[in-house]
C-alpha cells in the first residue's frame, strides 16, 4: 500500500480512501478508473488508528494538494484505539518529514520510544527475544502497486468449513438503540480530519462497509457525528444501502466480515456512481 502510494505522480490523486482493513478490502481504485475514469488511491491499513488516518491525510495532501478533492473515511476505528503495534505498522513506511515526526510524537510521549519509532531498525533491534519458528518461514509477498492499495481476495466464507449462519446481519436498523460511546482519541482525530478537509476545501464522506461487528448502536453514534459535522454518512450494513449494492453472504471473505472481491466490486461500483454524480470528480481516461 505505502510503496505504491509514493510511486504515484504528484498531483494526480483526486479521491482518497482511509480506514482499517475493512476499507482495504472494500474499494478497488482500478475499477473506479476503468468504469468512471476516477483517479483514486486506497490508503487503508490494518486496524488503522484514527490518529494515523489523520496524518496519512496530511501526507496525501502534501503530494496531491492541487488535485485532492474527496476523502472517504471508513469509520470502524471510531470504536476503539488499537495496540501500539498498529500505530507503528501504519506509520513505519511513511517518508520522514514533519508530518511523520508529529504523528510519532502524538502516539508516544516518551522521547526514547519516539526515537525508536522514527528509526525502525532500532525499534526492532531487540526482537530476538520473541523470535519463533514463523520468523524463519519464507513468504513470497509481492508488492502489487497496480491495485493501488486494494487487497484482492476471492475467498468466500460461505464455502468455508467454519461457516456459521450467525454471521449474517439483520440489515434492519434499530433507530431506538442507544448510541455507542466511541473512543475519545478517535473522536479527537476525527475532528482534526473534519477541520483539515474544511480548511483545504476537500469533501469528506463518512461511511461504513458491511461488517458483522457493526451494530445499530454504532450506526446511531456515527450518524449523530455526521449530522453534527454536516457530513454525508453512508452505512451499507442496513437497508436501503445494503439492498442497493445487493450485499449478501457470498460477498464475505472471512469470519471477521471483510469483503471479498465480489462484494468490493459491488460497493466500488456504487461509489463510482456516487462520486461522479455528487462529488465533481474528473474523468481522467485518455490523460496519459
- For residues 247 and 96, what is the distance between their CA atoms, to the nearest angstrom? 40
* Exposed/middle/buried for residue 226 (C-beta within 10 Å: 0-12, 13-18, 19+): buried
Helix 50-64 crosses helix 84-91 at what angle (to 10 degrees)?
A: 10
Model pLDDT for residues 90-116, shown as the tens digit of each residue: 998 899 999 999 999 998 877 777 877
Whole-model pTM: value is: 0.91
Model pLDDT for residues 204-248, shown as the tens digit of each residue: 999 999 988 899 999 999 999 999 999 999 999 999 999 999 998
What does the angle CA 38 – CA 76 – CA 155 come to, to the nearest 5 degrees?
Answer: 70
Q: Across all residues in the chain, what is the average pLDDT?
A: 90
Q: Which pLDDT score, from 0 to 100, does residue 114 have?
A: 80
Model pLDDT for residues 250-283, shown as the tens digit of each residue: 898 888 889 999 999 999 999 999 999 999 999 9
Confidence category of residue 120, pLDDT binned at 50, 70, 90? low
- For residues 96 and 116, what is the distance between their CA atoms, to the nearest angstrom? 13
138 or 66, which is more confident? 66
- For residues 284 and 38, what is the distance between their CA atoms, to the nearest angstrom? 6
Which of 52, 81, 49, 46 has the alpha carbon at shortest distance from 183?
Answer: 81
Any alpha helices (H) in the chain, and if so which ranges? 2-7, 21-24, 29-36, 50-64, 84-91, 98-107, 111-118, 120-123, 184-200, 216-229, 241-244, 261-278
Amino acid at each position: 500500500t505505502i510503496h505504491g502510494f509514493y510511486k504515484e505522480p504528484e498531483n494526480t490523486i483526486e479521491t482518497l480512501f482511509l480506514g482499517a482493513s475493512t476499507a482495504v478490502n472494500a474499494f478497488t481504485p482500478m475499477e473506479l478508473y476503468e468504469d468512471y475514469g476516477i483517479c483514486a488511491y486506497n490508503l487503508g491499513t490494518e486496524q488503522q488508528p484514527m490518529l494515523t488516518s489523520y496524518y496519512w491525510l496530511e501526507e496525501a495532501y502534501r503530494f496531491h494538494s492541487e488535485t485532492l478533492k474527496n476523502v472517504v473515511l471508513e469509520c470502524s476505528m471510531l470504536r476503539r484505539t488499537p495496540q501500539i503495534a498498529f500505530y507503528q505498522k501504519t506509520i513505519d513506511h511513511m517518508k520522514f518529514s514533519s508530518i511523520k515526526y508529529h504523528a510519532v510524537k502524538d502516539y508516544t510521549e516518551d522521547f526514547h520510544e519516539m526515537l525508536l519509532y522514527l528509526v525502525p531498525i532500532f525499534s526492532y533491534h531487540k526482537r530476538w527475544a520473541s523470535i519463533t519458528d514463523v520468523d524463519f518461514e519464507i513468504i513470497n509477498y509481492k508488492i502489487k502497486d497496480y491495485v493501488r492499495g486494494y487487497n484482492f481476495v476471492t475467498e468466500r466464507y460461505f464455502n468455508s468449513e467454519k461457516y456459521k449462519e450467525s454471521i449474517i446481519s439483520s440489515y434492519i436498523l434499530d433507530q431506538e438503540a442507544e448510541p455507542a460511546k466511541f473512543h475519545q482519541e478517535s473522536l479527537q482525530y476525527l475532528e482534526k480530519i473534519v477541520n483539515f478537509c474544511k480548511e483545504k476545501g476537500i469533501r469528506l464522506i463518512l461511511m461504513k462497509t458491511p461488517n458483522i461487528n457493526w451494530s445499530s448502536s454504532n450506526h446511531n453514534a456515527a450518524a449523530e457525528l455526521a449530522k453534527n459535522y454536516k457530513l454525508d454518512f453512508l452505512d451499507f450494513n442496513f437497508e436501503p444501502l445494503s439492498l442497493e449494492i445487493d450485499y449478501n453472504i457470498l460477498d464475505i471473505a472471512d469470519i471477521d466480515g471483510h469483503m471479498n472481491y465480489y462484494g468490493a466490486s459491488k460497493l466500488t461500483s456504487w461509489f463510482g456512481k456516487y462520486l461522479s454524480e455528487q462529488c465533481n470528480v474528473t474523468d481522467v481516461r485518455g490523460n496519459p
